[in-house]
Each structure stands twice: as C-alpha cells, then as structure tokens.
Chain A
C-alpha cells in the first residue's frame, strides 16, 4: 500500500481543528504501538492487555476526560463543535479494538447527555467529573429501551419497550427494572445510564451507580464478539438515587441514540479501516491461478473495490452526520427529531456498509479469514455484535418507523 489511510479514507479536514488533530494522532500512535503491531500477543493475552491498553488510553493519554468540561478538569470537548473530533478519536480506537471502542463510545454518550453544551447539567457534572478525572479506570454501561415480553405491557419510547421505571422516593428516586440487557459491560459497570419511564410513562434517563446493593447481575454473557466488554443482564430492585441523577429534559433519550449512532459508527469505520489494511496485505501476497497476484485478477479486484467503497462511503456519511451535529443552529441539536432521525439512518447504513465490506473481504481470504490467526474474524464478529445491538428490536423496525414518521409524517406507526 503506497498511500496512507488518511489519503484513502478521506473526510473534510476543516471539520477537525489542530488541537483535535494532535489528540487523534496520539490515539493512532497508541493503536499502532500497543495493539496493531502486536496483534498476536494481544490476542493471546487478551484479558490482561485489554485492561492495560484501556488504562494507557484512558488514564495516560487521558481520554477518560475527553468530553468533560475544561473547568471540571476535562479536555473541554463538550461543545457540539467538537463532534467531528470525537468521532475521529473513536475511529482510531475502533481500528485497534472494537470492544475498547464501544466502552469509550458509551462513555462519551453518557457525557453527551449530561455535559454537552448547551445542556450542561452542573449537578451531575460535579459528581461525575472528579470520578472520571481521577486515575482509576471507569466503565459506564448503557441500558436502552428494547423488546418487551408477551403478556407485559410497558411504556414505550417510539415503539420500543422501556423496561425500567423511576418514581419519587423520599428526596430522591427509586429505579426498578427486571432482566434488562445493557448495551455493554453490565457485569463490570460502575455506572449505569438507564432509560426509564416516569409515572406518566414519559421517557427519562437515570444514572445508577454500579455498586448499589440492590442491583442484581445475571451471569456474564458469551457473545459473538465484544466479549471483553463483559456484559450481563441486570435487574434494579428499588435502587435509590439522588434527585440530581435523573435527567428528564425533552429529547435526552433521542440525544443518547444520536450520539450512539455516531460514535458506534466511528468505532465500526475504524474496524473497517484496519480490515482494509489486512486485506490489502493479503491481496498483495496471495497468488491464484498458479501465479497471478490476487489483486490483479479482475473478479477479485472487484471484490476489493467493494471493501474499499463501503468503508470509504461509510466514513464520509459519518462525517456528514458529525457535521450536522456540530451545527445545532443550522439543523437543531442532537436531541431534535431531525438530527435523531438522520443519525438513525446514517448509523444503520454505516454498520451495514462495514459489515458488507468485511463479509466481502473475507470471501477473498478463504480459510485464513476464518482462522483466529489473521485477526479479521474478530473484526467480523465484533461488527456483527455492534450491528445487532444497534438494531435493537426486530431488525431495525423502529429505525424504519422513525424514518417514515419523520419523512412522511406517519401518525400511527
């Protein structure tokens, strides 16, 4: 490969300022040095290195504080204008390891709901900032609305069942919910960010410290990918939280979805870019038909083209979304119906594109692609896991409904 990744998978550079570029560069160096250049060692010692590399990323480089306000000790990327920079950082992390990417994305999502201007929630920030600016690795987990079970009526967020409820209890609130499946890290989370329904069935967001005695955790799940994130089902049995831990402003749930779509998209594009790098190496060293370099065979070249163009267009789409989100005065803020809907469309497209890129690329790698040794099968499993989670319910039915509702003014779907 005689062109750099950034020359190939371009994005409008003017969206990212110089300071952000320095951070992005640091993260790329971290990715190359600590993970990509030693994939074999990383794979064999995964559990240990997963924690160590997360620590160096979050504590040494300091990304744990990335989106906290400057005055609270963070990098101050809690301004909509930082959105393209944040997605760039997530892309670099995803290129190294999707599971680290997902946890990092969730962290940024939680802060987007609590500290992003102009909705900076001072009380919450005052609680979270000291914890996230200290030198201990933190792992938040997100619980979104999803599927319900036959025989149980639940309040709905745009069709999706809200499984947690919140009600006033003394000078705070009590949160309840049975067997909910977080997006990530249920088994190890120190903070849950949970979409709940209030007494009137309205959606809101509760922050629940992970060490509460009234949280019951199921066994750690074995999943297709992202296993290092250590997920499990959780139940809240009357977990009490202070008043300030409930965020009930309009659009906060939409905002969470918007950011999740953007940032998980970033992680997946990063994975796609690393997949591209590996397939490139393969296509330049593998020969077929007794001597033709694989990439010089027109049919194989057409498959390689698919890998490139899915990844290329996914990245462009994503920066388009980041751009929209960085201009709330033009398009509305990230919790508005418009931006929420755009994020659902682009989020879904990005995941599908990267999934297709990897599925196509695997075709050319034959058995090598299927063996753990080449690392691409991990990318494939991780992306499918992210994609399924983002689908949420019934293969994205709610996303389609959101889109139709916005573009066609459907009233009953």
Chain B
C-alpha cells in the first residue's frame, strides 16, 4: 500500500470538493496541530495553544470553514443544500480527527445546531440570515453548542421515541413574542465558556409526552440569564471544553425556535445522523493516523532481531488492525451516503428509522472496533504503548468517549433491536 489514503472509500460518490478540502485541511493539520498536539492535554483549561489553531481552521483569516453550511447568498459555501453534505462532513471529520479528535468534535459541533436550520429540506431563512454574520463575517473561530444532556442523564433526551420528552427538565414558556427559558444542561461540547450560540432542546410543557411540546430554541451565549461554568477535567479530548450551563429566565425572540411544534422533534431526530457521521469520521481519522504511526513502529522495532511486521504472529495482529480500519471506513462512507440519499427517490428522510437506527448501529460498531483497535495497537507498541510521544495513547484516551456519547452505547443497541426486530416495549 502506498499510504493511508489507500484505505477504501467509495470513489464514485466522493464530493468534487473532496480533494481540495482534504489537501487544505491536511496542510493545516501538519502545520498547526501535529507539532503541538502532545501538549494539548496540559492546555485543556486555557486553550493557549489550541485556540490559534482553531482560528486558522475556522475563521476567515484561515480556511473559514465554519461558514460551510450557510447558503452562498449569505456568505457560506452552500454545503447544507448540496447532495454531498454528509460525505463532506465525513471527510472533514476524518481529516481533523486524524490530527486531534477533540479538535474535530469542537469544530464539527459548531455545525450541529445549524443543521436544524441550514440543511435541505428544512432551511429556515430568517434564522439563517440572523446567524450568518456571526459565523461568516469573522476572522476568529466562532463556536456553537448543542445543549441536550441534563444532569439526570443524556440518554433519555436522545430517546424521544420512548420517553416522548417527558424527562426533559429544561422549560420554555412563551411570553408575548419571547421564549423564557429555564434549566440546567451539562457536558455539551463547546461549553465551559466557548460557544457563542446554543441550541437548547427543551419542553414547553414539563412531563408531557406530546411531541408537539418538544422545542429546539436558539440561545445566544451572551443573553441575560445564561451562566456557564468552567470546563471539566477529562481523560482526554482536551481541545473540547465541556461544562455546565444554567438558563435562568433567559429571554429570546419567539422566532428563535428552530422549526416549530412537531417539526422541532423531527429536526432533532435529524441531528442524530449528523452527530453519528461526525463520530464515525473522527474515529476513522484517528485510525488512519494510528496506521501511519504503527507502520513506522513495526518497520523499525524488532522482535527476534527481525522487524516486528516480518514476524508472522505480530503480522497477524497488525493485519487485522489495518483490515478493521478499512472496514470501518467503508461503513462510515456508507453511512454518509445514507444521509446524502435523503433527497433521492431511493433514499429515506434523515429522521426515519431506516437512517437513524441503522446509523446508530453502524456508529456503535465502528466505535467498538476503534476502541479495540487502539487498545491492540497500544499492546503492539508494548512498553512504548503508553508513551505520549507515540500519539497512539492520546487517541486511545480521546476516542473512548466517542463510543459513549450521544446517549450511550446501550441506547444504540436498543435502537438496533427496535428497528431490526420491531420490538415494542424497549
């Protein structure tokens, strides 16, 4: 094999932007991230090292990629309305994830709330126009957050099919032409003082299981009554800050609701495939990097005075590792195609069981493989496996949470069972 680009992907479906985007991102990663990433763990609170790299990725002085989803007439690249939105997302997630999955999630989550108003067929032009300048007209990286998880648990909120939203404690009350929001969220990516804009999944009628009472409301971080705590210290993902947010009688205009009764629940379900494709892309990117590092290691270190890779027993293990990476990449791109088929006669809407449940299942599978593959790779490195200098251990720490976020592993398993076996009570 020539290099890590040879891992399989469906060439016939790749976006025309793929080559250009990848090369720009790879240059950025090689220059701005790779040389510094071993120091990121100590930078988790301040982001002195991390922030400048974000600016060069996202802001207009750099690649300006944070505006990608916005329509061209509002200053964006129009990806949200293209037939390649998911495939491009997968490629972006891969390239940034190859360098640092924490960075990848912080950057991609910025798109996450915006998908509810910028992706065909749900473009909300009024909100698109409202928020376009915040992201399209700045040299700095600007972040958004999707504040789903509440203290009592993240899984239930992502499990609207079963809970119907009855567990949600964050409330929105209409007062004249304003929403008044109260509640407490924690853990969203880009909290801890980072995000300028939140989307807040909440209920207009606490305890209700009527999907029409579920609401998605945009809240600027500087709105009165929004308080953010500092970031938590975590096992990894230093480039992503996560903390608490309290909403206390926060007022926003009534039209900051993403799509309206019923529709909000639908676009919220559509958020899930976006999160899943990002997750799979991050994992594939990290695994591509693992392959690069491992290749070098097994070619230069020896067992029985022969390169590790020339020992049949070790070869059996690294062959499987690379094989798994190939398979995971194929699955990630197939998932991306599921998303991009949403507008085709043979495709399914993003909120359909066909897309959500299958993708949850694929993400669950790819994360399990990735956790395994990284664990094995550390073992191949043996005494060097835990050494930060080899970068594999950092990915190992970072990617574990990808297996667990978005409602948890068990939720994925339940959705798969519900879909494939028509279970009624899970």
Contacts and interface: CB of A to CB of B under 8 A. Distances in A.
Given A222-B388, A223-B388, A224-B397, A394 B382 contact: yes
A366 B402 CA distance: 10
Interface stretch (B24-32, B108-116, B122-130, B308-316): B308-316
A366 B314 contact: no
Contacts of A338: none
Contacts of A300: 410
Interface string A365-396: 01101111100010011001101110111111
B375 A372 contact: no
Contacts, number: 178
A367 B302 contact: no
Contacts of B156: 288-290
A394 B397 contact: no
Interface stretch (B160-168, B193-201, B250-258, B330-338): B160-168
Contacts of B170: none
Interface in B382-426: 382-389, 393, 396-397, 400-401, 403-405, 408-410, 413-414
Interface stretch (B8-16, B86-94, B147-155): B147-155
Contacts of A391: 379-380, 382, 385
Contacts of B96: none
Given A359-B371, A370-B401, A391-B379, A150 B303 contact: no
A7 interface: no
A181 interface: yes
A181 B414 CA distance: 45
Interface residues of A, number: 59
Q: Say whether chain A's binding surface is mostly helix, strand, loop, or mixed.
A: mixed
A1 to B, nearest CB: 22
B402 to A, nearest CB: 10
A380 B397 CA distance: 9
A225 B393 CA distance: 10
A154 interface: yes
A37 interface: no
Given A147-B383, A150-B301, A224-B393, A395 B314 contact: yes
B303 A366 contact: no
A303 interface: yes
Given A223-B393, A288-B156, A156 B305 contact: yes
Query: Size range of the interface on B?
Result: 35 or more
Interface string A338-367: 000000000000000001000100111011
Contact of A370 (B235, B313, B410): B235
B302 A384 contact: no
Contacts of B41: 222
A160 interface: yes
Contacts of B386: 223-226, 384-385, 388-389
| A150, A224, A369, A373: most-surrounded residue (chain B CB, <10 A) | A224
A21 interface: no
Nearest to A401: B313
Nearest to B232: A371
Contact of A299 (B187, B379, B388, B414): B414
B304 interface: yes
B18 interface: no
A396 B379 contact: yes
Contact of A363 (B242, B375, B410): B410
A287 interface: yes
A45 to B, nearest CB: 15
A363 B408 contact: yes
B233 interface: yes
Contact of A147 (B163, B382, B387, B414): B382
A388 B384 CA distance: 8
Given A147-B303, A288-B156, A398-B303, A377 B414 contact: no
Contacts of B23: none
B314 A394 contact: yes
A394 B313 contact: yes
Contacts of A258: none
Given A290-B167, A389-B382, A367 B154 contact: yes
Given A181-B383, A370-B401, A388-B379, A393 B235 contact: no
Contacts of A355: 375
A210 interface: no
A287 B409 CA distance: 16
Nearest to B299: A150
A389 B393 CA distance: 13
Contact of B307 (A150, A159, A363, A396): A150
B224 interface: no
A131 interface: no
A183 B382 CA distance: 11
Nearest to B310: A150
A288 B155 contact: yes
Nearest to A382: B386
A373 B235 CA distance: 10
B341 interface: no
A359 B376 CA distance: 14
A397 B311 contact: yes
Nearest to A290: B167
A115 interface: no
Contacts of A288: 153, 155-156
Nearest to A385: B386
B53 interface: no
Interface string A1-34: 0000000000000000000000000000000000
A400 interface: yes
Interface string B282-320: 000000000000000011111111011001011001000
B408 A366 contact: yes
A394 B396 CA distance: 17
A126 B397 CA distance: 45
Nearest to B308: A394
Given A362-B404, A366-B155, A371-B232, A392 B383 contact: yes
Contacts of B162: 289
A288 B302 CA distance: 49
Given A149-B301, A362-B400, A394 B380 contact: yes
B243 to A, nearest CB: 11
Contacts of B132: none
B234 interface: yes
Contacts of B159: 289
A94 interface: no
A161 B304 CA distance: 7
B381 interface: yes
Q: Which 10 interchain pairs have the tightest Cβ spacing?
A: A388-B385, A395-B379, A394-B314, A377-B235, A224-B386, A148-B302, A385-B386, A223-B386, A222-B388, A290-B167
Given A153-B305, A290-B166, A388-B382, 14 more contacts: A147-B382, A152-B302, A223-B393, A363-B409, A370-B235, A372-B235, A381-B397, A384-B375, A389-B382, A389-B386, A393-B308, A393-B382, A396-B379, A397-B313
5 contacts: A147-B303, A224-B397, A364-B410, A370-B404, A384-B396
Interface of B: 38, 41, 149, 152-156, 159, 162-163, 166-167, 186-187, 232-236, 242, 298-305, 307-308, 311, 313-314, 317, 371, 375-376, 378-389, 393, 396-397, 400-401, 403-405, 408-410, 413-414
